[in-house]
């Protein structure tokens, strides 16, 4: 009788505890937010963010910050209710993908992305113009490498800080249009800033991984991250593109407009760069009709353009040494305008692809 009781208790524990045993747990990397933590474990932040908060609310820091060294429960994978449709061919790779799997976010949905900072972390989707699109937004340099450095009086302008701020603004704009966005270079503290002179730090990571000082290793790291994400994303999104945001450094007297590089090996990359340039040209014609726009488009075999699988564009936002170009960077309204125009360039390209 006693043995039977033990068996019954064991079976009851076995079946009631199955879900607990199946739970996946992990610890975050330094600088990693909830969204990047979920992505690293193959969970879409849009789909699993609230579940993650609910499962781990007692372990999170202020404003739902992840704590290094703490083990968190990863939400279990939800069963898909969609029915597979006929296969179509991917534009960039020629591989098979299911058109029914193209993901989109409903208008009115609010997405939480802590990387944008406390005031702007909640992003409301206001349009579906980029539904089914996925973007990899990469700000140049970061971590131990500040990139180009300009000066305004006693202030130093570090390329990585201004490129990062514009990258975050672009990412937020894209999300508002219904796109999926992967922010590759991340700073857990900065967020979107409205200061003219952005403070410098070495906190940036490549989605939680420390950024190497060695240039080739640094560039390969971000390419590897994009390519790994793209291998999964291309099955779910009909349009995937990467953008690398930089600021040039030339002689102080050389004023430059925004210019674009594309990969010589990808036709989609060239089309994207031209659409970006045409968008900026139209904006200058509207807002500064007497000035004109002298930005250019050219093919270059830059490392990141050659080593990323999805079509990509490389953007130089101006000359960080030039007084007039510096105004394009230090005024937060100008940084927001740059981000908005880059988003509209993507929108133009996406419409042409469709």
Check residue 31 and report its DSSP letter. Answer: T
Give the Cα separation of 231 and 236 in Å (integer): 10
For residue 155, pLDDT over 90 is answered with: yes
- Are 164 and 139 spatial neighbours (Cβ–Cβ below 8 Å)? yes
Q: Which of 26-30, 98-102, 221-225, 286-290 has the lowest mean pLDDT?
A: 98-102
pLDDT band at residue 4, thresholds of 50, 70 and 90? Answer: low
Report pLDDT digits (tens) over 318-352: 999 999 999 999 999 999 999 999 999 999 999 99
249-268 average pLDDT score? 94
304 pLDDT above the threshold of 80: yes
- Write down the pLDDT at residue 95: 35
Least confident of 9-13, 96-100, 200-204, 334-338: 96-100
Residue 87 reports pLDDT greater than 50: no
Average pLDDT score, the chain: 86
Q: What is the pLDDT of residue 37?
A: 86
Q: Which of 40-44, 251-255, 348-352 shows the lowest mean pLDDT across its residues?
A: 40-44
For residue 281, give the nearest of 300, 263, 297 by alpha carbon. 297
pLDDT in tens, 177-202: 999 999 999 999 999 999 999 999 99
C-alpha separations of 293 from 158, 280, 308 in Å: 25, 8, 29
Q: What is the pLDDT of residues 157-182, one digit of tens each?
A: 999 999 999 999 999 999 999 999 99
At residue 16, the pLDDT reads: 40
Q: Is the separation of the CB atoms in 200 and 133 below 8 Å?
A: no
Rounded Cα gap, residues 36 and 51, in angstroms: 15
Contact (Cβ atoms closer than 8 angstroms) between residue 334 and residue 297? no
Cα 87 from chain centroid (whole Å): 28
Percentage of residues of the chain with pLDDT beyond 90: 66
How many DSSP H helices and E strands does the chain contain?
10, 17
Taking 80 as the threshold, does the pLDDT of residue 92 lie above it?
no
pLDDT of residue 288: 79
Instruction: Please give the full DSSP string across 138-187, using - where no structure is assigned.
Output: EESSBTTB---EEEETTEEEEHHHHHHHHHHHHHHHHHHTT-EEEE-EE-
């Amino acid at each position: 009788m006693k043995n039977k009781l033990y068996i019954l208790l064991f079976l009851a524990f076995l079946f009631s505890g199955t879900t607990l045993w199946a739970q996946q747990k992990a610890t975050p990397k330094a600088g990693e937010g909830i969204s990047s933590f979920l992505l690293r474990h193959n969970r879409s932040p849009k789909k699993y963010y609230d579940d993650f908060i609910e499962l781990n609310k007692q372990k999170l820091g202020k404003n739902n910050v992840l704590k290094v060294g703490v083990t968190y429960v990863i939400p279990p994978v939800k069963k898909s209710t969609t029915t597979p449709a006929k296969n179509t061919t991917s534009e960039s790779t020629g591989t098979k993908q299911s058109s029914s799997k193209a993901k989109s976010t409903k208008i009115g949905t609010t997405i939480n992305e802590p990387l944008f900072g406390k005031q702007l972390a909640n992003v409301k989707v206001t349009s579906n113009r980029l539904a089914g699109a996925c973007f990899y937004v990469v700000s140049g340099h970061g971590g131990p490498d500040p990139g180009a450095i300009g000066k305004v009086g006693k202030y130093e302008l570090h390329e990585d800080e201004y490129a990062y701020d514009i990258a975050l603004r672009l990412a937020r704009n894209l999300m508002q249009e219904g796109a999926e966005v992967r922010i590759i270079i991340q700073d857990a503290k900065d967020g979107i800033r409205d200061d003219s002179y952005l403070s410098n730090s070495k906190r940036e990571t490549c989605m939680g991984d420390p950024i190497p000082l060695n240039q080739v290793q640094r560039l390969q790291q971000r390419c590897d991250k994009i390519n790994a994400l793209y291998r999964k994303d291309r099955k779910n999104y009909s349009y995937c593109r990467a953008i690398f945001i930089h600021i040039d450094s030339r002689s102080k007297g050389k004023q430059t407009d925004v210019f674009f590089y594309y990969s010589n090996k990808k036709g989609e990359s060239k089309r994207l760069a031209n659409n970006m340039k045409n968008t900026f040209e139209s904006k200058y014609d509207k807002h500064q009709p007497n000035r004109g726009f002298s930005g250019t488009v050219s093919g270059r075999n830059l490392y990141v353009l050659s080593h990323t699988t999805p079509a990509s564009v490389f953007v130089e936002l101006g000359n960080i040494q030039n007084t007039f170009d510096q105004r394009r960077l230090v005024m937060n309204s100008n940084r927001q305008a740059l981000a908005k125009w880059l988003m509209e360039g993507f929108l133009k390209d996406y419409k042409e692809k469709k």
